Structure 1
Amino acid sequence: MSSLVEVLMRVVRAGVLKVLSSGPIPAHLGIIMDGNRRYATRRKLHTTSGHLKGFDKLHEMLFWLLDVGIRNVSVYAFSIDNFKRTEDEVRALMDLAHEKFQALLNDMDLIHRYQVRVLVTGDLARVPVKVGEAAESLMEATRKHSKCVLNICFAYTGCYDIGCAVKAVAGEVERGEVDPSEVDGRLVRDRLLTHGMPPVDLLLRTSGEKRLSDFLPWQCGGAHLAFIDTLWPELSLWDLAQVILEYQDTR
Structure 2
Amino acid sequence: MGSLLDWLFHFPPLLWGLEQTEDIVIKALKHGKVPQHVAFVMDGNRRWARKHRVETIEGHSLGFEALKNLLRVCLKMGVKEVSAFAFSIENFKRSKYEVDALMDIVKNSLTQITAHGDMVDQYGIRIRIVGDLNRLKPDVYEAVVKVVESTKNNTRATLNVCFPYTSRHEISHSVQNIVRLAEDEKIVPEDIDEGLFEKNLLLNDSLPLDWLIRTSGVERLSDFLMWQVHEDSEISFIDNYWPDFSVWRFFPMLIRYQLQSQQDA
TM-score scaled to structure 1, two decimals? 0.94
Displacement of 1:88 in angstroms is 1.5
Q: Which moved more, 1:215-224 or 1:40-49?
A: 215-224
- Alpha-carbon distance in structure 2 between the residues aligned to 1:107 and 1:41: 35
2:37: which partner in 1?
A: 28
- State the 4+ residue runs in structure 1 displaced beyond 3 angstroms: 4-7, 104-109
Distance 1:17 1:86, change over 3 A: same
RMSD of aligned C-alpha atoms? 1.6
Choose the corresponding residue for 2:154, options 145, 155, 178: 145
> Are residues 1:236 and 2:238 paired?
no
Q: Which moved more, 1:4-13 or 1:202-211?
A: 4-13
2:259 alignment counterpart: 249
Partner secondary structure for residue 162 of structure 2:
strand
Q: Pick the aligned partner of 1:226 from 222, 236, 248.
A: 236
Moved more, 206-215 or 87-96: 87-96
Q: Deviations over 1:112-157 (max 9, x none)?
A: 1200001111001101011111000000010000000000000100
Of 43, 60, 63, which residue of structure 1 is paired with 2:52? 43
What pairs with 1:159-178 in structure 2 (closer than 5 Å)? 159-178=168-187
- Count of aligned residue pairs for this structure pair: 248
Q: What percentage of residue pairs aligned between the two structures are identical?
A: 35
Alpha-carbon distance, 1:5 to partner: 6.3
Matches within 5 A, 1:9-28: 9-28=18-37
Q: 1:7 to 1:244 in 2, by over 3 A?
A: closer
Amino acid at match of 1:173: A
Matches within 5 A, 1:44-193: 44-193=53-202
Change (3 A) 1:34 1:72: same
| Structure 2: tracts of 5 or more residues without a match | 1-12
Partner of 2:9: none
Which runs of 5 or more structure 1 residues have no equivalent in the other structure? none
TM-score, with structure 2 as normaliser? 0.89
Of 30-39 and 236-245, deviating more is: 236-245
* 3-state DSSP of counterpart to 1:156: coil
Give, in angstroms, the shift of residue 9 of structure 1.
2.1
What amino acid does structure 2 have at the position aligned with 1:237?
V
Q: Helix, strand or coil: the match of 2:87? A: strand
How much does 1:40 deviate?
0.7
Indicate the SS of the match to 2:163: strand
Q: Which amino acid aligns with 2:129?
A: V
Alpha-carbon offset, residue 221 of structure 1: 2.0
Rounded to whole Å, the distance in 1 between the matches of 2:116 and 2:49 is: 27
Letter in 2 for 1:13: E
Q: For 1:179 and 1:242, how far apart are their aligned partners in 2?
A: 50
1:7 shift after superposition: 5.9
* Distance change >3 Å, CA 112–CA 211, structure 1 → 2: same
Secondary structure of 2:74's counterpart equals helix
| CA deviation after TM superposition for structure 1 residue 6, in Å | 9.7
